[in-house]
Amino acid sequence: MIRSILDAPVLVAERRKRILVAADLHLGIEHELRRSGVTIPSQTEKLFNRLLDHMGQTDPDRLLLLGDIRHNIPWISHQEAGEIPKFLGKLARHVPIDIVPGNHDGGMHSLIPSDADITFHPSKGIVMDGVGYFHGHTWPSADVLSVERVLVAHNHPMVRFVDSLGHVSIEPAWILATLDADVLLKRYKSIKTKEVMVMPAFNELCGGTSFNTSTPKTLLGPIFTSGAIGLEEAEVYLLDGTHIGKIKDLRRLGE
């Protein structure tokens, strides 16, 4: 069973284990914003407390961070070097952590406390308790596509609305899509995955991609740009659980 948490960009996958999943934390993004002339205090402690609250609500057996834990590339900023080891170490005191790295996570090994219960997995993803996980910046492993349900991140999905007066509203969203097996069978011997859920970003500062104004070619990651994700028929859910329809039916609302 997979269920989202009301009004939060996290979900719980539960079978034999209860796994809390969050993606795209982008810790240290404030450093890049400062270099662009925008000064914002560090949000790392705030993000830690939010995760801690969700852990208190769900009592997970494990916490899975689905890529882009840190933000700055290619180097590790002083902010990240100082804050991320403490962030991960404090979280690991409450629950074992699994990390599936994203494209922003180069050098993450050096930021993981040696005494913390943290497992660093391959970037092509993992299968845990019957669910596949990968960040989305690379092709997933064949193992990931050998299970029925897969979670992916990377694109920070949102939907865009424009009213009759031209006011624009952009909201984070969950995207539930199917895979085009014909596209993937050009690369993989077999595909069992029937459902892919695209996770919104946990960090509100990192923005996102409006799925109802995008095409596969404008999205990020090969599984999207290849057309393997059935974008037009994908279902969209807001963080409060509201089902607002399919991408193809929402396109006019983003114009």
Q: What is the CATH number of the domain that holds 238?
A: 3.60.21
In this prediction, residue 31 carries a pLDDT of 85
> SS3 for 83?
helix
In this prediction, residue 140 carries a pLDDT of 97
Taking the CA atoms of residue 185, residue 191, residue 194 and residue 197 in that order, the dihedral angle to the nearest 10 degrees is: -80
* pLDDT average, residue stretch 77-92: 95
Query: What pLDDT digit, counting tens, does each position of 134-180 carry?
Result: 999 999 999 999 999 999 999 999 999 887 787 888 999 999 999 99
Between 40 and 172, name the one with better pLDDT.
Answer: 172
Other beta carbons within 10 Å of 205: 15
Other beta carbons within 10 Å of 186: 8
The number of folded domains in the chain is 1
Where does residue 163 rank: exposed (0-12), middle (13-18), buried (19+ CB within 10 A)? exposed
In this prediction, residue 255 carries a pLDDT of 62
The residue whose two tokens read 């409006």 is 210
In this prediction, residue 162 carries a pLDDT of 86
Domain enclosing residue 160, as ranges: 2-254
